[in-house]
A and B are shown apart, each in its own frame.
Chain A
Amino acid sequence: MFDIDKWQEIFSTIRKNKLRTILTGFSVAWGIFMLIILLGSGYGLENGVKREFTGDAVNYLSINAGITSMPYKGLSPGRRLRFTNEERKELGSLEGVDKSSGRSAVWANNTLSYKNEYGNFDIFAVSPDYKYVESLIILNGRYLNKIDEDDYRKVVVLGRLVDEALFKGEDPLGKYIKVSGVPFKVIGTFDDPGGDRDLTRIYIPLSTAQRVFNMGNYVGSILLNLGDADVEESLEMIEVIKQDLSEKMKFDPTDPRAIFVYNSIEQYRTLMNLFSNIRLFIWIIGIGTIIAGIVGVSNIMMIVVKERTKEIGIRKSMGATPWSIISLILQESILITGFAGYIGLVMGVGLLELLSNVLPATDYFANPEVNIQVAVYATLLLVISGALAGFVPARKAASVKPVVALRDE
């Protein structure tokens, strides 16, 4: 395989046919370049959307109350349903529910202030276990805990951007900010991989909010973490929840508008399926492009073999075995595809690197890149395709009778 003479011979034919070799190489390089760009972009898309998801757990149900649209047990439709602490407890005690929490948005005057700094931010009143829904990273201090809730403490956890806006680098812990005019003590700050929208938020205890902002015992949404339930189990759980709530809150369990459930488990699976389909699609297109390149190389190798028929005849009359002829041509083909493909690979990866450095990461596109595994696959694909492109012409060349080959002019 690593025979200096053979390589010298390969290089001498390549040198004699520069343009042909360059054109062939280009078609392969282009194929690989496109494959890498496609795969990289697909990966970037996936990264972007996955990043959205890493902001949240993927095993929770978010249940919101709506307005009934069907009459039930003598009650007319059009009734507005609202959850209370009672429903939350009830659902939290269902079998299969790992953690439960409530969340209400505070729609008062949303102005937050610290000294002379003001800002409008989302105020979320949540129970301590809400941290299992949003995958928060506590930067400073701590998150809300059960004592905060039980004692109706006026404490607040700030999103990183809120902290930056109000405190401008000052240590916020232990300071008081005004939430709609009511002073709350800052006990922590958090980061959230889910993106900026989740960082312009503050969290206060739900129990405190119900008292301070006159929300009665109402709860906006109920969030249930289902442990490691799969999609089917989550769908069953939703049925159980509907039945349960329908009895408590008096609505038709088949009413589509009475309650709304966001099923993150199902969403996540749908998305993952989508991505595996996209990946498959990209590979099909990419491989198609490469096949076009292979056909090109094959074509060129056919011509090469045709041109060298007489030489092959001479070699055979000198005692060249069929295999030595095949390997001569195969190696040239693998060399061209391998080298050109490598250039395509490097250029593709280079462009992706450039893109990921220049383009800001958005919600739907982040870090386009190809991992080492894909690069290895692509390289493997190259070698195989090079061999494939050369094999048919090579075998043809090797099987020509020497006398026929020698007659060729």
Chain B
Amino acid sequence: MITLKNLHKSYEVGQNKLHVLKGFDLSIEKGELVSIMGSSGSGKSTLLNIIGLLDTYDEGELILDGDLIRNYSDSKQRNLNERKAAHLRNATIGFVFQSFNLISFKNAKENVALPLYYQGVGRKKRNRMAMEFLEKMGLEEWAEHLPNELSGGQKQRIAIARALISKPKIILADEPTGALDSSTSMEVMDLFKEINQSGITVIIVTHENDISRETERIIRLKDGLIEKNIKNGFHKSPAEKPKILQTA
């Protein structure tokens, strides 16, 4: 599903160049539930952003769902690549962020429906689907509420509904429980597991051991390289997983 070969990424910080990813190799199979851990500055968020096409990389190769993603900061093909990247983000990837990143002046339903708008789905169908997904999250009563009227857990579930509505193949979550208390965190984590059991690849960046323990594989980063790549105790091949959450 996701293959990274010798990936390099560096940022310019003032005069200095900060080499964040130093020849990164990684392969993640379809249907895996993976957590990425590491201390701050180890490059875990950068890695996730590159996989999610939110950021560019300098060298190496990124293959996403069989597509070789060119470095879309390449100025020559930039427009074309930007469009392609937008399309991939829309169709293949769902994002869940630590700070939720809901649009503040849109209500819950509109926020959930947003990815469908960029897929060109009609308004009525969009709203109907958004309601369906809110129901799955148990949030149908909050459909007309603005994000600032909701609790952190509710906001994150809305963000997850938004990530799922475009039926992505990959869910990328960057510290999804970072702003939540521990019981809510566990609820959210259960949700991710459910999503994963429906066959969607889930990658979670976290620094909480409680969270990573729930995943099948833990990738621990240090200084831009993989320090450990541990298969976690409970893992089944994706085919054996029961289908609980049907998003289709």
A-to-B contact residues, CB < 8 Å: 4-5, 12-13, 16, 310-311, 313-324, 401-403, 406
What are 11 A-B pairs with beta-carbon distances under 8 A?
A: A314-B102, A317-B89, A318-B95, A318-B118, A318-B162, A319-B115, A319-B118, A321-B82, A401-B55, A402-B54, A406-B101
Contact with A along B57-95 (1 / 0, CB 8 A): 000000000000000010000010011001101110001
| Bound CA–CA A40/B95 (angstroms) | 57
Residues of B near A313 (CB, < 8 A) are 101
Q: Does B52 contact A314, Cβ atoms closer than 8 Å?
A: no
Q: Does B56 contact A (CB under 8 A)?
A: yes
Q: B26 within 8 Å of A by Cβ? A: no
* Cross-chain contact B162 with A319 (CB below 8 angstroms): no
Q: Is B103 part of the contact surface with A, judged by Cβ < 8 Å? A: yes
Q: Residue A311 contacts which of B53, B56, B79, B103 (CB distance < 8 angstroms)?
A: B103
Complex contacts, A403 vs chain B, CB 8 Å = 49, 54-55
Q: Which of B29-65 contact A (CB under 8 A)?
A: 49, 52-56
Q: Which residues of B contact A323 (CB under 8 A)?
A: 83
| Total CB contacts across the A-B interface at under 8 A | 68
A398 to chain B, nearest CB (A): 8
Q: Which residues of B contact A401 (CB under 8 A)?
A: 54-56, 73
Residue of B nearest to A324 (CB): B118
Complex: how many Å from CA A239 to CA B31?
101
| Distance in Å: Cβ of A198 to nearest Cβ of chain B | 68
A318 and B90 contacting across the interface, CB-CB below 8 Å: yes
Contact A322 B82 (CB under 8 A): yes
Binding site for A on B (CB under 8 A): 49, 52-56, 73, 79, 82-83, 86-87, 89-91, 95, 97, 101-105, 114-115, 117-119, 123, 162, 166
A12 to B162, CA, bound (A): 21
Closest to A320 in B: B118
CB of A317 within 8 A of CB of B101, answer yes
Give the distance in Å from the alpha carbon of A322 to the alpha carbon of B80 in the complex.
10
Q: How far is the CB of B59 from chain A (nearest CB, A)?
A: 17
Min Cβ gap B10→A in Å is 14
* Residues from chain A with Cβ under 8 Å of B115 in the complex: 318-319
Closest A residue to B163 using CB positions: A318
A322–B114 Cα distance when bound, in Å, is 16
What residues of B have a CB within 8 angstroms of the CB of A316 in the complex?
Answer: 54, 86, 89
* Main SS at interface, chain A: helix
A317 and B83 in contact, given A12-B105, A406-B97 (Cβ under 8 angstroms):
no
Contact B123 A5 (CB under 8 A): yes
Per the bound structure, the CA–CA distance linking A341 and B149 in Å amounts to: 39
Q: Are A317 and B118 in contact (CB under 8 A)?
A: no
Residue of A nearest to B105 (CB): A12
Complex Cα spacing A36 to B82, Å: 43
Nearest A residue to B174, CB-CB: A406
Complex Cα distance A325/B87, Å?
A: 14
With a CB–CB cut-off of 8 A, which chain A residues contact B118?
A: 315, 318-321, 324
Within the complex, which residue of B49, B56, B73, B86 is in contact with A319, where a contact is CB–CB below 8 Å? B86
Does the CB pair A319–B90 fall under 8 Å?
yes
Q: How far is the CB of B191 from chain A (nearest CB, A)?
A: 19
Report the separation of the CA atoms of residues A313 and B86 in the bound assembly, to the nearest whole angstrom.
11
5 closest Cβ contacts across the A-B interface?
A: A319-B90, A402-B54, A403-B55, A403-B54, A319-B118
How many whole Å from B90's CB to the nearest CB in chain A?
2
Q: What residues of A have a CB within 8 angstroms of the CB of B54 in the complex?
A: 316-317, 401-403, 406
Contact partner of B117 among A5, A310, A314, CB < 8 A? A5
With a cutoff of 8 Å between Cβ atoms, the chain B residues found around residue A12 in the complex are: 105
- On chain A, the residues within 8 Å of B102 by CB distance are 314
Beta-carbon contact of A317 and B95 below 8 Å: yes
CB contact between B89 and one of A4, A16, A311, A319 (< 8 Å): that residue: A319
CA distance A314 to B118 in the complex (A): 12
* Docked complex Cα distance between A312 and B184 (Å): 28
The residue from A4, A311, A321 contacting B83, defined by CB atoms under 8 A apart: A321
Smallest CB–CB gap between A9 and chain B, Å? Answer: 8
* A319→B119 contact, CB < 8 A: yes
Min Cβ gap A206→B in Å is 81
Instruction: Report the minimal beta-carbon distance from B141 to chain A, rounded to whole angstroms.
Output: 23
Q: B83: nearest residue on chain A (CB-CB)? A: A321
Chain B residue numbers with a CB within 8 Å of A315 are 103, 114, 118
Pairwise interchain contact B52-A319, C-beta atoms closer than 8 A: no
Given the complex of chains A and B, what is the CA–CA distance between A317 and B82 in angstroms?
12
Give the one of A317, A318, A321, A401 with max B CB within 10 A.
Answer: A318
CB A313 to nearest CB in B, in angstroms, measures 8
Chain A residues within an 8 Å CB radius of B104:
311
On chain B, the residues within 8 Å of A402 by CB distance are 53-55, 89
Let me know if A319 and B101 touch, CB within 8 A: no
State how many angstroms separate the Cβ of A96 from the closest Cβ of chain B. Answer: 66
B112 CB, min distance to chain A CBs, angstroms: 11
B123–A4 CB distance below 8 A: yes
**How far apart are A367's CB and chain B's nearest CB, in angstroms?**
50
- In contact, A314 and B86 (Cβ under 8 angstroms): no
* Given A315-B103, A402-B53, A403-B49, 13 extra CB contacts under 8 A: A12-B105, A13-B105, A16-B105, A311-B104, A315-B118, A316-B89, A317-B54, A317-B95, A318-B162, A318-B166, A319-B166, A322-B79, A406-B101
